[in-house]
Amino acid sequence: MPKVESVRVYNARFWILAVFSFMSFVHNLVWITWGPISESMEKAFQGWNSSTVSLLTNWITIMYVIWVLPTCWATQRWGLRVGTVVSALLMAMGTAVRCITPVTPAFTVLCHVCAIMTGIAGAFIITAPSIVAAQWFPAKERTTAMAVMIGSHQLGGVGSYLEPLLVHVPSSSSANSQTVHEVMTLLYIVAGVCAALLVAVVVYYPDKPPSPPSLSSAATRFPITPGLKTLATHKKFLVFLVFYGIFVGPPIAWLTVLPYSLKSLDFHQDSAMWVGLVSMLASSVSPVIVGRLNDLVQGHIKLLLFSLMAITTVCFYWFLLLTYGVLPVSTWQVYVTVVGAVSFSYAAMPLFWEAAIDFSYPVPEILVTGVLVAIDSLFIALFLLVLNIPNVGYDWMAPTQTLTSSLPVLPLLWLKLRNTRADIDSSSRI
């Protein structure tokens, strides 16, 4: 443990935050490239259908599950810079590869290659915000920095929804060539952005500052294997992990199939698109606001979490009443309930991460968040798996969301949350 006098913060932390946040933004943009323009792709590119788009999107999740533990091990051994440079390189190479030719089936194969490479990069990009915040930011800025990176990733989804402004649905078979040209233009732009990002990371992206920003960040962390054993035998952490997965996973999954849930309310594709867009924009900002609030009023993370979870439950219950006709449907109520439910649930994410890291300290931050993201991915997969049941319909979504958001609320009051790192860091201010 370093002496108090050796703790110091550097202005370079804002560059680190800006670059990593932008990389998170671009990663999500590349991840969900095809969903918003799926209709154009199916008409202009031979062999493309909903299954193609679905698999391209699912490669990210598949690669995450495969690569998350090796990524945690590699990051702990070789540091933050190596992980960041390799991830930026994978994204630059992947987005460049899919620009080689627009001719199918070669184009389709290259898009799958890009998705796989982006998925491998995602194992680092999605889990690393916690270690970036811990290594570069002081205690009073740590949750805020982590929330900015989480929100930036979500903001990439907003960018993808703007793709139809460039890529249009062909009105006839003769217009297919124009759509192909528009798609390739989009891919060239994204590849250029990824190349510029790689240059920025290579030029300046240090592993960590010369002196730690806090006492807790300088403490020696467990190796990966002992860290996994600690997490697997930590009963309170495991309970907290289940709470997190139940609460965070289903709303993320729901947002990806939101148009189906809104159809019964007479909100069709165009209207549902705007509800989804506003929800994603709000859920990009809400984690930052809550993260900053947590940094300003440290020691009240349980109250903040309980409040966010309770409000989310109220929004989902309100939406349930609209879905089943108990309340008359109106546009403003749909926006309030959907945007509120998604943004408040997403705002809880950095608080869950912060609390889980404190629970398991000194297990490496990237390992803790890697396990958290893995469990919410599991609940996302389970939610979406229900859609494959024949004739299941969509009426089950609203009550399921109400149930999963409410289940962890009261048990959270029983669980005692720790302020391990805050208590250590407070000694530097005495």
Rounded to 5 degrees, what angle do the CA atoms 144, 146, 150 make?
115
CA–CA separation, 10 and 12 (whole Å): 5
pLDDT value, residue 277? 87
**Amino acid (1-letter code) at residue 275:** V
- 220-430 homologous superfamily: MFS general substrate transporter like domains (1.20.1250.20)
Report how far apart, in Å, the C-alpha atoms of 162 and of each of 51, 145, 157, 384, 428 are.
Answer: 22, 26, 9, 25, 47
CB 277 within 8 A of CB 162: no
Tokens of 428: 């530097």
pLDDT digits (tens, 9 = 90+) for 193-211: 999 999 999 999 999 999 9
Parse the chain into domains and list their residue ranges. 1-218, 220-430
Q: What sign for the dihedral angle of Cα 288, 292, 295, 300?
A: negative
CB 264 within 8 A of CB 395: yes
CA–CA separation, 79 and 206 (whole Å): 9
pLDDT digits (tens, 9 = 90+) for 120-139: 999 999 999 999 999 999 98
Question: May I ask the CATH architecture of the domain 1-218?
Answer: Up-down Bundle (1.20)
**Amino acid (1-letter code) at residue 153:** H
Q: Which DSSP helix (H) or strand (E) runs through 365?
A: helix 365-385
CA–CA separation, 248 and 262 (whole Å): 20
Orientation of helix 235-256 relative to helix 365-385, angle to 10°: 50
Q: Give one DSSP letter per residue of 8-57, joined into a string.
A: ---THHHHHHHHHHHHHHHHHHHHTSSSTTHHHHHHHSTT--HHHHHHHH
pLDDT value, residue 430? 46
CA–CA separation, 211 and 166 (whole Å): 46
Burial of 200: CB neighbours in 10 Å, binned 0-12, 13-18, 19+:
middle
Q: Do domains 1-218 and 220-430 have the same CATH topology?
A: yes
CA–CA separation, 95 and 88 (whole Å): 11
pLDDT value, residue 413? 82
Residues of the chain with pLDDT under 50: 1-2, 430
Q: Over the Cα atoms of the chain, what is R_g?
A: 22
Orientation of helix 142-161 relative to helix 269-296, angle to 10°: 170
DSSP SS3 for 268: coil
